[in-house]
Amino acid sequence: MKHVAVLGAGLSGLSSAFHLSRLHPNVRITVLESQKRAGGWVRSTRVSLPENYGSVLLEAGPRTLRPNAQSVLELVNLLGLKEQLITVPKTSPAAKSRYLYIPPDHGTSYSGLQQIPSSFFSFVKSPLSSTLVAAVAQEALKLNNRAKGVEDESVDSFLRRRFGSRFAETFGSAIIHGIYAADSRNISVRAALPSMWDAEARGWGSLVRGMFMSVKKPQGQAYDAGNVPQLMDGVSVYSFRDGMETLTRALDSHIRMRPNVQISYNAPVTSLASTEDGFAITVEGGRTVEASHVVSALPTPILHSILSPTLATTEVNKVGSLTANSTSSVHVVNIVFPGPPCSIHPAGFGYLIPRPPTGYPSTSPEPTNLGILGTVFDSCSLADQDTEARNPHAYHTAKFTKLTVMIGGPYPLPQLPPYLSSTEVPQGVDRKTNSLPQYMQTVLEQLAAHLGHWLPTPLYWRIVPNENCIPTLSPGHLERVDELQGYLDERLGGRLQVVGAGIGGVSLGDCVEAGRTVARRLHFQ
């Protein structure tokens, strides 16, 4: 019997094991996970609030999905999760109203919280339109200015070349803060925003022209999504009533029931070596797992660190591409305030903040600026996670407001004391003194400045430090991945496959699709 070892039980690893077990029921599959639970960065927690406020669902990682990922819709159907869906319609304020916070020192004639135009009325009203109109009009008339032979560049370089420096610094840097928690000057445009790169080529050098030209969609394999795509008509984003971990828990439960799958938790891999018949995987404690094939869903730097000399002594530069990208660390700060959302923030999805015009601090965070990348107004889009029934008036009537602040990425992160840095310790306000640590006081002061008014003492808060959680896919990433895959196919006959956020994209849809693809890519003869 062939034996596949799947390294890592994050979403990419779970998807790989799920699809492998369905497509190859006669192949033995072993999943090795270093933590005591599956799911990776997807972590949902329901917390009871004090003083009879009820419960709140908090996310430490991803919180919503877009309905364009057919591979995830397929899982919703196959795992029977349709009844758990919470959808946000495109007509809702959470879909139509997104904001930028423009700091006073950003060098523009406007500052504060500014709504990104999404309709003719908001376009006319928004101060951001002055930047948008000039940039888009000039881009449509601008000649092709991509240098000959350039196969990739940073997002900042691309947007600066096509739309000008003000657009790149204001919009481009904020978007990359929200997706990658990174500096847009360090992110590959082909890896992060491939549709923009393709549209420029399609439009004879103009992205705007290319966006108006029809695109022939490639014919791919059919997805077994049932009627879930129809349920997503008119939907902007969606989640689940008990959070994003609903998906990873369902995958984990399904996989453990498959007769050809075994999952080992608390089993960090310390070495991966090639053998005459396949691979020898050493697990912490000395246990060895023999496998004919390996699917690595580990972060690429960790995979590089466990490669034995039998795999890493030759073609070092190609194997070294596993460490070519850096990673971003982010503090996720969940805050629950008393009172309805209308008393805390405007209706909408949330806001992002552009990079500082003077650059990011290089050593330690400033006392009054922790490096907030953006804030999500969770109660505006995901109120149904916290109420017994759907309530269209929750924005004005809910008993509490939850939001999430993202801190760090290209900013230096503050050192947290042990009682704040442990995700196992419940956190919140000392109800006897209403005291807050300095870190949270600074967060609230910055939030109050962004929102333009005083904020009440939170009912609950927590800080979740996510170390090295998002890969920074730097320019040249796609070429490096192709080179690495070619090397592994040539040397190992395709028996070692590498998937995950550091290879194929950081979105949850990318991770699920990668697992689905690798299950069809492996051949057992």
Mean pLDDT by 10 residues, the chain (525 residues): 94 98 95 96 92 90 94 97 95 92 84 84 77 88 92 97 94 96 97 94 92 75 93 96 97 96 96 92 94 96 88 64 92 94 95 92 75 95 76 82 96 78 48 66 94 94 92 95 89 92 93 96 81
| CB proximity list for 241: less than 8 A, separation 6 or greater | 84, 85, 86, 384, 385
CA 146/CA 162 separation, integer angstroms:
9
Predicted local distance difference test score (pLDDT) of residue 435: 63
Predicted local distance difference test score (pLDDT) of residue 433: 44
Contact between 284 and 267 under an 8 Å Cβ cutoff? The reply is: yes
* Short-list 516, 517, 471, 521, CA closest to 496: 521
What is this structure's pTM? Answer: 0.93
**Residue 412 CB neighbour total at 10 angstroms:** 16
Predicted local distance difference test score (pLDDT) of residue 392: 63
The pair phi, psi for residue 59, each rounded to 5°, is -110, 135
Pairing of strands 293-296, 496-498: parallel
Predicted local distance difference test score (pLDDT) of residue 111: 86
C-alpha distances out from residue 207 to 133, 151, 164, 216, 338, Å: 15, 16, 13, 17, 45
CA 485/CA 497 separation, integer angstroms:
8
Task: Quote the tokens at residue 463.
Answer: 């800080």
Predicted local distance difference test score (pLDDT) of residue 86: 94
Contact between 349 and 171 under an 8 Å Cβ cutoff? The reply is: no
Single-letter amino acid, residue 280: A
Predicted local distance difference test score (pLDDT) of residue 367: 66
CA 510/CA 99 separation, integer angstroms:
26
Predicted local distance difference test score (pLDDT) of residue 420: 66
Domains and CATH numbers, the chain: 3-41+247-325+473-521 (3.50.50.60), 99-118+327-471 (3.90.660), 127-212 (1.10.3110.10)
